[in-house]
Structure 1
Amino acid sequence: MPIKDIVSNPHSPWMDGTGPEADIVISSRVRVARNLAGLPFPHMLNQIRAEEVIRAVQAAINGREFRQKVGHMELIRMKDLTPVERQVLVEKHLISPDLLESYEHKAVAISADEVLSVMINEEDHLRLQCLLPGFQLQRAWELVSRLDDGLEATLDYAFDEKLGYLTACPTNVGTGLRASVMLHLPGLVLVDQVKSVLGTITKFGLTVRGLYGEGTEAKGNLFQVSNQITLGQTEEDIMANLVSVTRQLLAQERAAREALYRERKDQLEDRVGRAYGLLKHARMMTSEEAIRLLSDLRLGIDLGIIKNIPAPLVIELMVLTRPAFLVKVVGKELSPVERDVYRAQLIRKKLSAAQQT
């Protein structure tokens, strides 16, 4: 799928809900940071050298060996996308918010299935990413490793025998690997345990962020858990640690949900029912209200309280009702009030269609 079509489609494979443990683990992501030897880091690049990086990546992904190993990827410069299209890529988690800053000499390459992407001239020359549905960290690592090998066949990476891969941020030096899982943890939030549970994982070298990464809030009871340090650890150590901690979080979230359903069934069903009713009938809805209600609806679906709405639709609606996507769908700039009206309208329409299938 061409990138211009990707920004018009609210769905991405990571929203499918088809992966293991998909009732709690929404997605698994692996990123690696790489830089080209002999070039300054992006924050020190002039326009000519920045364009040199883009051309080098374009040549690499166009090579026959790369396409045989990885497949087709389309590269597009950020300046060739509209502001709304750039924001849509962020809302779909295909690029980071950092790629939007001073974007004139930045680019992204994306596979047709949206599983693989390469951010160019972000914090590092290259940020390679794989994003999959459910708990598939190992598979994501395998795919991003294949992408890494495909690029390294023609690109000369900045590498030190002692330190490993050299990166702009010292915390990424070594493997350059950042692995993360996006978790839906409404049970732990409702039993008031989420702060204590997530607070302890920092002892394991992990960090917790919001829906869109560093510096963002955990809206909709969605949390990103990722490794914090790459230097001095192997890729296998990083992945094993994150997998182990995630499995513990899965057990704790399931225990919290079971306790809620056993001890507060009426309150839980009332909360889910009210969320469903508002989503089906409200005429105006803010972004924050929508994601909160959609989180409650998703919990109701996972617990079998709501039976006629597919779980993946809820995650798709969380993306589709973000401001940039609403503008893309409507085809014009919207005032805050207009956004709230269209958001509610879109949710009603999607839920109604789901009930009829």
Structure 2
Amino acid sequence: MTIENLLDKPLSPWMKGGGPDEDIVLSSRVRLARNLEDVPFPGRADGQTLAAVAGEIRKSVGDLGAADKHVYMFVEMDKLPQLERNVLVEKHIISPHHADDDGHRALVVRDDAAVSIMVNEEDHLRIQCLVPGLNLQEAFALANRVDDLLEAKHTFAFHESAGYLTACPTNAGTGMRASVMLHLPALVLTSQINRIVAAATQLGLAVRGLYGEGTEAIGNIFQISNQITLGHSEQDIIDNLQTIARQVVQQERVAREALTKKSADALADRVWRAYGVLCYARSISGQEAMSLLSEVRLGIDLELITGVEAAVFNELLVTTRPNFLQKIAGREEISPGERDRLRAQLIREKLKEGKPDA
């Protein structure tokens, strides 16, 4: 496997669906922040120190691969063009911050992209594990194994009372952020999403958009994650978020059922209109595409539209993003108009692969 393979594939294996409540929960993620003992955090370290950190982590790539029979790659971020770093963000492999053009940042990534480790982001290590559906326990178990392998080779900064020491105090303690990515179109259509967001916030959770902190909830996709890491065990955090996520899933199911019972014809008309626009549009913006794709996915999940795989939605979430489109175009820059036309073309071609039953 090469980084080019990873960049060119629209779907990482974890994005192909499966897992509990896959019709609503797109993925579960666990991220661990770790720092090497007696080494300044990345924000205070000089280039020589950061290069040494990256060099030390590079030595562990073989150990990771030997432990779980997967191939791991070590990628120096400054060797990648900005466009390719942005594509990695769109595929949820790195954070927007890690895509910034700073020296001595690196990425360790597994061949299926279920495991990625950002080196010298805000912390020396950000270990991220992604699995499909509502399955935080599996993501946590995977992250734990990777963490144990790395900790066997490297001594992490740890305090008996404060737990793992991190660049941001809000991550201290377990150093763990767990999150679920949910598709909640019915709660949006029934104007209940603000109530859900407010309730989650009161329970100590954060609700963000498609790419995490600082991003909008485009396409009716929301990320719910824990905010508190200090004073709670990893299992407590996982259990609490899993419980809240199940409640949100149930609320979305109730909203979908209400839409189906009270306005079945209007709902069917809405999703089929969205499908029709996507099938025939010659130019479409990213925002409109995400909105219409969300409605089509709702139609697929409710079996109003049959013959189209739900995984099409996951794939188009990536391929219709600006940087992925530019990479497909094969040019350093394309105009907004060209991008909108290419986006519409890709959507038309993908939807034609499966002909729905009217």
Shorter chain as normaliser: what TM range?
A: over 0.9
What is the number of equivalent residue pairs in this alignment?
A: 354
Runs in 1 of length 4+ with deviation above 3 angstroms? Answer: none
- The 1:62–1:68 alpha-carbon spacing in structure 2 relative to 1, beyond 3 Å, is closer
State how 1:154-169 maps to structure 2 within 5 Å: 154-169=153-168
CA contact (8 A) 2:78 2:101 kept: no
The answer for the alignment partner of 2:270 in structure 1 is 271
For residue 103 of structure 1, report the CA deviation from its aligned partner. Answer: 2.7
Matched residue SS, 1:95: coil
For residue 192 of structure 1, report the CA deviation from its aligned partner. Answer: 0.4
| TM-score (norm: length of structure 1) | 0.97
The answer for the alignment partner of 1:15 in structure 2 is 15
* 1:253 counterpart letter in structure 2: E
**1:354 matched to 2:354:** yes
Structure 2: runs of 5 or more not aligned:
none
State how 1:311-350 maps to structure 2 within 5 Å: 311-332=310-331, 333-350=333-350
2: CA distance between counterparts of 1:309 and 1:123? 41
CA contact (8 A) 2:82 2:101 kept: no
CA contact (8 A) 1:26 1:184 kept: yes
The answer for the alignment partner of 1:78 in structure 2 is 77
The answer for the alignment partner of 2:33 in structure 1 is 33
1: CA distance between counterparts of 2:272 and 2:112? 35
* 2:149 counterpart letter in structure 1: G
CA contact (8 A) 1:211 1:224 kept: yes
The answer for the alignment partner of 2:205 in structure 1 is 206
* 1:120 counterpart letter in structure 2: V
1: CA distance between counterparts of 2:163 and 2:340? 49
Matched residue SS, 1:108: strand
Structure 1: runs of 5 or more not aligned:
none
- Could you say what the CA RMSD is over the residues aligned between the two structures, in angstroms? 1.1
**1:68 matched to 2:66:** yes
2: CA distance between counterparts of 1:113 and 1:215? 27
* 1:354 counterpart letter in structure 2: G
**1:249 matched to 2:244:** no
For residue 89 of structure 1, report the CA deviation from its aligned partner. Answer: 0.5
2: CA distance between counterparts of 1:156 and 1:211? 34
CA contact (8 A) 1:99 1:106 kept: yes
The answer for the alignment partner of 1:98 in structure 2 is 97
- The 1:298–1:127 alpha-carbon spacing in structure 2 relative to 1, beyond 3 Å, is same
2: CA distance between counterparts of 1:280 and 1:102? 38
1: CA distance between counterparts of 2:220 and 2:74? 34
2: CA distance between counterparts of 1:69 and 1:233? 29
The answer for the alignment partner of 1:226 in structure 2 is 225
Matched residue SS, 1:153: helix
1: CA distance between counterparts of 2:112 and 2:159? 34
Matched residue SS, 1:105: coil
2: CA distance between counterparts of 1:111 and 1:194? 35
1: CA distance between counterparts of 2:239 and 2:208? 20
For residues 316-353 of structure 1, give each alpha carbon's deviation from its aligned partner in whole angstroms, at most 9, with x where no partner exists.
10111101111111211210000000000010011112
2: CA distance between counterparts of 1:233 and 1:256? 33
2: CA distance between counterparts of 1:174 and 1:342? 46
| TM-score (norm: length of structure 2) | 0.97
1: CA distance between counterparts of 2:279 and 2:102? 39
* 1:344 counterpart letter in structure 2: A
Matched residue SS, 1:266: helix
Matched residue SS, 2:103: helix
1: CA distance between counterparts of 2:103 and 2:322? 23
CA contact (8 A) 2:65 2:71 kept: yes
